[in-house]
Amino acid sequence: MANILVLIETSSTGGIKASAPGLIGAAAQLGTPVAVVAAAPGTGAAVAGELGRLGAAHVYVAEGEDAGRILAQPQLVALTAAVSAYAPAAVLISNSTESREVAGRLAIRTGGAVAADAVNVRSEDGRIVAVHSVFGGDYTTESWVRDGLTIITIRPGSIQERAAAATAELTVAPLAAADFPAAIIEQVHEAGADTGRPALRGATKVVSGGRGLGSKDNFVLVEQLADALGAAVGASRAAVDAGYVPQSYQVGQTGVAVSPQLYVALGISGAIQHRAGMQTSKTIVAINKDEDSPIFEVADFGIVGDVFTVVPQLIEAINAHQLTAAH
Amino acid sequence: MKIVVLVKQVPDTYEDRKIDLSSGLLDRDASDIVPDEINERALESALRYKDGQKATEIVVLTMGPDSATKTLRKMLSMGADSAIHIVDDALAASDMVQTARVLAAAIQRGGFDLVLAGNESTDGRGGVVPAMVAEILGLPLLPSLDALELEAGSVSGTCSIDGGSLSVRAPLPAVVSVTERSAEARFPNFKGIMMAKRKPVETMDRASLDLGTAAVAASVVGSATKRPARAAGTKIIDDGTAAQELAGFLASNRLI
């Protein structure tokens, strides 16, 4: 089977980020997963065991002082070396802020091209095909790379498949020096106090609030329902613009695109830009006092009513159900 | 300081956007075509620097069909000094590698200290063109900055990543891409609109750029299918029991 390289993202403390299982899972659909990591000196071996459990057959670690200190170059240099060593049929990279830079540069450096923001991959007649969900899920397109290395960026949280655990064969190599002026990481800021809620991107349940909540204080209602459901919290652009929550909560065309099992929209009218970020959700529930809100056009279950009345009752009913189920 | 701002015209996200199912490419006639909002924010970042440093020169650069002139005029009316429009039918349906090669070749012709771009367009959402341009030019990239600080000799800013954010810095010349969280764009005023009519727009075709003739890899679109319209489900008006009904619906779908 052909080798498929996967770029492993690591945190500032060297831990493996949450994108790894999906990337390795996708690689296993196409061939033999080879995990590539840029790591600080002496830390590579520590990650090999976990990457093997995630399904990597080989782990290639490039160790050097630049890892974690310089943006993108260590990963680029490590991947370029691994492309020479493993002659892969494809390289899979998370479509995240830090990693997609590596994808773009790798394409230029190796004479490849990028199939961007794939939500699935498959192998067909010896060709690797990337599947994309575009215009907010209105269309599904397929693409592939011709005349060069296939590089695919994968939308975080989109791949459900997981690879069978393997015993990874570890290769540790020195990280080659940077070869263009560097973007320096001056400081890493860890996210603020952990709310204990799942991250919006990749969450299986999402509860979002809109302008209908009326104020920042009232937005707590959205959080309460989210906690009752074990869901992540999102918001419409209108709620973000009104200052109820930070922009990182925004679901939509210009925010995070989510595709959870359950999406609950509270006080959200459902402007086309919002729907572009959530309409591929498996089940959509909407509660809004305006009967004519476009959100009801895509809702599997819609309630025309006051969120301040319905949501507390709903939380009570969910808690009651969970108590019954527990007995 | 000379700043090149990369711009793109895209279908308006406030309307339905369509893809031609036979070619898998954007149906340009189906929606209004507007400057991508993210590019206006990139230009705004450049303009804010120019507000304090009058000697700054801002050039907007696009590759696109004839109609992209409208997008360039809007950017000029906001305050850019001149525009470059690469227009050539041979470049239609270019993938990201091809687009980056064309943009980089045009950037190299004129000299620059900083290249500013949006982090991803609202139509393609590929998000790798700025990185490709940086790689071709042999320059650092500060990707997806929420805010940027430009000084003589260096640029710095903050980018959000999963689990936090990074403070990053690069020497000039450099490439920077900005996010939706960056500078809110100004509206063109009357004076700006009048002045834009007299500002130079240079057009170029593929042949006027030094691109070589070697075949390069490309990403090609194979097929496109439209998702069936989502059917609306149950809609009830709350009479005091709606929350119970919804809880029942969630339970029967094993969602609670």
Q: What tens digit of pLDDT does each residue of A111-128 get? A: 999 999 999 999 998 899
Kindly determine whether residue B17 and residue A305, on different chains, have CB atoms separated by under 8 Å: no
Q: Which CATH number among 3.40.50.300, 3.40.50.1220, 3.20.20.70, 3.40.50.970 corresponds to the domain A205-326? A: 3.40.50.1220
- Asked if pLDDT for residue B12 goes beyond 90, the answer is no
Q: How large a percentage of chain A has pLDDT more than 90?
A: 77
**Which residues from chain A sit within 8 angstroms of residue B140, using beta carbons?**
71, 180-183
Portions of chain A given CATH number 3.40.50.1220: 205-326
Across A35-41, average pLDDT: 96
> Cis (ω within 30 of 0) for the bond into B173?
yes
- Residue B34's pLDDT band (boundaries 50, 70, 90)? confident
Whether B22 has its CB under 8 Å from any CB of chain A: the answer is no
From residue B89, give the alpha-carbon distance in Å to each of A264, B64, B205. 45, 9, 9
Q: Would you state the pLDDT for residue B16?
A: 80
Kindly determine whether residue A104 and residue B215, on different chains, have CB atoms separated by under 8 Å: no
Torsion angles phi and psi, residue A55, rounded to 5: 115, 5
Among residues B48, B77, B57, B104, which one has the least CA distance to residue B187?
B77
Burial label for A234, CB within 10 Å (0-12, 13-18, 19+), is buried
Q: Calculate the average pLDDT of chain A.
A: 93
pLDDT in tens, A52-94: 999 999 999 999 999 999 999 999 999 999 999 999 999 999 9
Q: Would you state the pLDDT for residue B30?
A: 79
Portions of chain A given CATH number 3.40.50.620: 3-174
Q: Would you state the pLDDT for residue A194?
A: 61
Beta-strand runs (E) in A138-177:
139-146, 150-154, 169-174
Q: Would you state the pLDDT for residue A89?
A: 97
Provide ipTM, 2 decimals. Answer: 0.91
- Asked if pLDDT for residue B146 goes beyond 60, the answer is yes
Q: Which CATH number among 3.40.50.620, 3.10.129.10, 3.30.1490.20, 2.40.50.140 corresponds to the domain B2-208? A: 3.40.50.620
Q: Would you state the pLDDT for residue A165?
A: 95
**Which residues from chain A sit within 8 angstroms of residue B246, using beta carbons?**
285, 301, 303, 310, 314, 317
**Is residue A27 within 8 Å of residue A33, measured between CB atoms?**
yes
- Residue A192's pLDDT band (boundaries 50, 70, 90)? low
Across B94-106, average pLDDT: 94
User: Domain A3-174 belongs to what architecture?
Assistant: 3-Layer(aba) Sandwich (3.40)
Across A182-205, average pLDDT: 83
Q: Would you state the pLDDT for residue A268?
A: 97
Min Cα separation A63/chain B (Å) = 21
Q: How large a percentage of chain B has pLDDT more than 90?
A: 66
Q: Would you state the pLDDT for residue B191?
A: 93
Across A15-27, average pLDDT: 94
**Is residue A131 within 8 Å of residue A120, measured between CB atoms?**
yes
Helices (H), chain B: 37-52, 69-78, 96-110, 129-137, 190-196, 242-252
- Asked if pLDDT for residue A319 goes beyond 80, the answer is yes
Of the two residues A292 and B162, the one the predictor is more confident about is A292
Whether A13 has its CB under 8 Å from any CB of chain B: the answer is no
Whether B14 has its CB under 8 Å from any CB of chain A: the answer is yes
DSSP class of residue B185 equals P
**Which residues from chain A sit within 8 angstroms of residue B123, using beta carbons?**
135
- Residue A16's pLDDT band (boundaries 50, 70, 90)? very high
Interface of B with A in 88-147 (CB under 8 A): 95-97, 100, 119, 122-132, 134-136, 138-144
